[in-house]
Structure 1
Amino acid sequence: MLSDSKRVHQVDKKFETDVSNEKFVNQLFIRLVALDKQFTKVDFKYSIFDTCYLRKCKFDSCDFTGCRFVGTNLFEAKFSNCEFRYAIFEKTLIDNYILEQECPEEENLKMRFARSLRINYQSIGDAESANKAMSVELQATEEHLYKSWNANSTYYRNKYKGWNRLKAFTQWVQFKLLDFIWGNGESAWKLLRAVLIIFALMTLIDVLAFRNTESIDSYIQSFFDAPQIFLGTLSPSNYPSPYLTAILFIRLVAFGFFMSIIIKRFNRR
């Protein structure tokens, strides 16, 4: 059976003065207006802010748990010691400093909070803020995955037992590996580092198998030949076909990673 959620609708309202120690729980604010007002210890839990204008407002110790901000202007708004657990942002103008000061403490909630803001910033074309949110999201994801299999806290040990703990460990290893290779799709420099490591391995294999291991010139020449072999412009006749095929496969994967990084960057603009 369905019952009334008892959500209070506040349509076309305006805060004329500062507000403190008030409760606005489970409210739907439509076109709410407040300019340069101070909100102190105000409870907004489970409320929806739809097309609201809250520019330059200051929120001190306010509770936005479970809130949803849709098409809201929070430009130059300041938040201090506020609670944003399970909050969602859609097409909302909000300064990215919130990622530094107001993230939930729990890693899994911090991850979702940063993800919501990243998608929000992408939707309004704020590439710089979207990149910052992605960085926070990846850091929180790494910490969450690590604690999922290694932390001894009650929450993690009750939630991740047996097979789930092993699965969390596998996910963490995969995350760390991809982070090392290409920063989980966010770092062209890490991808370049991975390619240079491949060149070094190709150099060692080439010298050990086909050149004079006691000559420095062999290592130097082999290292300069490695990029040509990797890119397919040079194919030594003494190289076995399976080895060249492996190089081709790695080259295609690296190129795919590189294109993915570029596409992600442009998609946030």
Structure 2
Amino acid sequence: MLRDSDRKRCEDKWFDSDSMEENFDYKFFLRVAAKDKKFQNVSFKYTIFDSCYFRKCIFESCDFTGCRFLATNFNGATFLDCKFDYATFEKTLIADDVLDVNCPAGENIRAKFARTLRINYQQLGEARSANKAMGVELDATKTHLYKAWRSQERYFRAKYRGLTRLQFFFSWLSFNILDVLWGNGESILKLVRSILIFLVILALVDTFKFRDPGLVRSYWRALVEAPQTFLGTRVPPNFSHSALTLILSVRLIMFGALTSLIIKRYGRR
């Protein structure tokens, strides 16, 4: 059975003074505005902000749990020790320093908070802020996956049991492997490092299998020729077809990952 919502609509309103310890829960703010005002210990739980404007306002110890921000302008606004659990953002102008001191405590909630901000910044074309949000999201996800299978805290042991813990272990392991290889799609430096490590391994295999490992020049020569073999400009006569196929597969994967990373990271602009 459906009944009318208790949500109250506040349209085209203006805060003409500071607000302290007030309650604006379950409201629908449409084109509500304020400038140079301070909000302290104010509760906005589950309120919808649509096309609102809060320029240079200060929000201190405010509760934005479950809020939804749509095309809202927080230009110059400051958030101090505010709660944003389960809040979502769409096309909202908000400084990325909100990620520094206002992230939710729980890692899974923090990851969701950073994810919605990342998508929000991508919608606005703010690449630097989107990258920062992605960093927070990855760190929170990594910690949550680890705690899900390893932590002895009551919450995690009650929620994740048996095979579920095993699944989270493999998810955590996969996450860390991808983090080492290419920073989960966020680090060109890690991908380049992975390529360099593969070239060193290729050179060592070449030296110990087809050259004299007792000579220093054998290592140097193999290391010089490794990039040529990797790029396909040189085909070593001693390498089997299986080895060449493996090198080709790694090359395609690495270059595909590099292309994906460049498009993903810098295409946000």
- Settle same-fold status: TM greater than 0.5: yes
Q: Which amino acid aligns with 1:36?
A: D
1:159 Cα offset (Å): 1.2
In structure 1, the residue matched to 2:154 is: 154
Deviation, 1:43, is 0.7
The CA deviation string for residues 86-108 of structure 1, in whole angstroms up to 9 with x for no partner, is 00010000000011110001100
TM-score (norm 2): 0.99
| 1:202, distance to aligned residue in structure 2 (A) | 0.5
Deviation for aligned residue 1:266: 2.9
Percent of pairs with identical residues: 51
Indicate yes or no: 2:267 matched with 1:267.
Answer: yes
Whole-angstrom distance in 1 between the partners of 2:98 and 2:201: 44
Which runs of 5 or more residues in structure 2 are unaligned?
Answer: none
Summarize deviations over 1:87-141 as a string: whole Å, max 9, x none: 0010000000011110001100100000000000000011110000001100111
Q: Tell me, what secondary structure is at the counterpart of 1:22?
A: coil
In structure 2, how many angstroms separate the alpha carbons of the residues matched to 1:246 and 1:77? 54
Q: Name the SS for the 1:199 alignment partner.
A: helix
The structural deviation recorded for 1:75 is 1.0
Letter in 2 for 1:200: V
Q: Which residue of 1 is the match for residue 235 of structure 2?
A: 235
Counterpart-to-counterpart distance in 2, 1:156 and 1:268: 35
User: Whole-Å Cα distance in 2 between the matches of residues 267 and 236 of structure 1?
Assistant: 38
Match of 2:49 in 1: 49
CA distance in 1, matches of 2:195, 2:24: 55
CA distance in 2, matches of 1:188, 1:42: 43
AA partner of residue 257 (structure 1): A
Equivalent position of 1:164 in the other structure: 164
**Aligned counterpart, 2:253:** 253
1:265 to partner: Cα distance: 1.9
Task: Name the amino acid aligned to 1:70.
Answer: L
- Paired position in structure 2 for 1:92: 92
* Equivalent-residue separation in structure 1 for 2:252 and 2:206 (angstroms): 21
* Residue 140 (structure 1) aligns with: 140
Tell me how far 1:154 sits from its aligned partner.
1.2
* TM-score, structure 1 as length reference: 0.99
Residue 85 of structure 2 aligns to a residue whose secondary structure is coil
Residue 153 of structure 1: CA displacement?
A: 0.9
Whole-angstrom CA distance in 1 between matches of 2:266 and 2:194: 23
Is 1:180 paired with 2:188?
Answer: no
* Other structure's SS at 1:16 match: coil
Q: What letter is aligned with 1:108?
A: N
In structure 2, what is the Cα distance between the partners aligned to 1:261 and 1:238? 34
How many pairs align?
269
Q: What is the rounded CA distance, in whole Å, between the counterparts of 1:194 and 1:237 in structure 2? A: 26
Unmatched tracts of structure 1, length 5 or more: none
Specify the alignment match of 1:118 in structure 2. 118
Q: Give the alignment of 1:68-107 within 5 angstroms.
A: 68-107=68-107
Q: Aligned partners of 1:66 and 1:154: how far apart in 2?
A: 25
- Mapped partners of 1:43, 1:4: distance in 2: 22
RMSD in angstroms over aligned alpha carbons?
Answer: 0.6
Q: Per-residue displacement from partner, 1:204-248 (whole Å, max 9, x unpaired)?
A: 110111000100000000001000000000001111000000000
Paired amino acid for 1:260:
S
Q: Secondary structure at the match of 1:74?
A: coil
Q: Which runs of 4+ in 1 moved over 2 A?
A: none
1:267 deviates by: 2.5
